[in-house]
């Protein structure tokens, strides 16, 4: 019962990339210790993520965070699923909100294998929070570049090949909805890191 009252007090569940109040309360020195010496790999990753968030405002800290993201041990240590400590640190650079650190995160990701880059892209695009009641009218798809391009091509082909008068009957949505989806897919494709 105690857990349910705690849940009721929260505005919504935390997503993987949301700031963690326990780590936000720590000083930079405490986060550096947690990142390096914690026995919990997830705790190390969350500490590096919080350091990444703060790095945009501190050039010295940014250098340290970049070194920790590049650390081969952090690239190897998986926290949740295939997500590594390094990937959480790079996600922190993005979550910090500065354009320069976001660009740096993608530059660092460019040093990784294709599989690591794919996992990182999934992390920053697909790990958002769920609806508070556990239900949502949205679906999160995890697609690689080839399948995303295929989906975009199918929508564009439908827009060109199906006449207006039969579009909603054959596809279950109007042409305007399909055009909006096409634009969203084009935007996602334009934002993908280079191959």
If asked whether residues 57 and 153 sit together in one domain, one would say: no
Quick one: three-class SS letters along the chain?
A: CHHHHHHHHCCCCCCCCCCCHHHHCCCHHHHHHHHHHCCCHHHHHHHHHHHHHHHHHCHHHHHHHHHHHHCHHHHHCEEECCEEHHHHHHHHHHHCCCHHHHHHHHHHHCCCCHHHHHHHHHHHHHCCCCCCCCCCCCCCCCCCHHHHHHHHHHHHHHHHHCCHHHHHHHHCCCHHHHHHHHHHHHHHHHCCCCC
If asked whether residues 121 and 153 sit together in one domain, one would say: no
pTM comes to: 0.58
Give tens-digit pLDDT for 89-105.
Answer: 999 998 887 888 888 99
Q: Does 80 fall in a domain?
A: yes
Give tens-digit pLDDT for 142-178.
Answer: 778 888 899 999 999 999 999 888 888 778 888 998 9
Give tens-digit pLDDT for 133-147.
Answer: 344 455 566 778 888
If asked whether residues 150 and 121 sit together in one domain, one would say: no
If asked whether residues 177 and 119 sit together in one domain, one would say: no
Q: 31 lies in which domain range?
A: 14-126
**Is the confidence at residue 3, as pLDDT, over 70?**
no
């Amino acid at each position: 019962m105690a857990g349910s009252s705690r849940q009721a007090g929260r505005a919504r569940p935390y997503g993987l990339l949301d700031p963690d109040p326990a780590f936000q309360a720590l000083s930079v020195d405490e986060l550096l210790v947690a990142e390096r010496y914690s026995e919990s790999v997830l705790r190390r990753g969350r500490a590096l993520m919080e350091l990444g968030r703060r790095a945009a405002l501190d050039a010295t800290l940014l250098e340290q965070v970049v070194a920790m993201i590049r650390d081969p041990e952090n690239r190897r240590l998986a926290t949740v699923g295939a997500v590594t400590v390094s990937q959480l640190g790079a996600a922190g650079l993005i979550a910090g909100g500065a354009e320069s650190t976001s660009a740096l995160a993608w530059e660092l990701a460019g040093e990784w294998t294709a599989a690591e880059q794919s996992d990182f892209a999934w992390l920053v695009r697909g790990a958002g929070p769920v609806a508070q009641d556990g239900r949502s009218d949205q679906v999160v798809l995890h697609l690689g570049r080839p399948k995303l391009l295929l989906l975009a091509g199918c929508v564009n082909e439908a827009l060109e090949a199906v006449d207006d008068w039969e579009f909603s009957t054959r596809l279950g949505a109007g042409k305007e909805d399909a055009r909006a989806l096409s634009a969203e897919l084009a935007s996602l494709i334009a934002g993908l890191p280079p191959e």
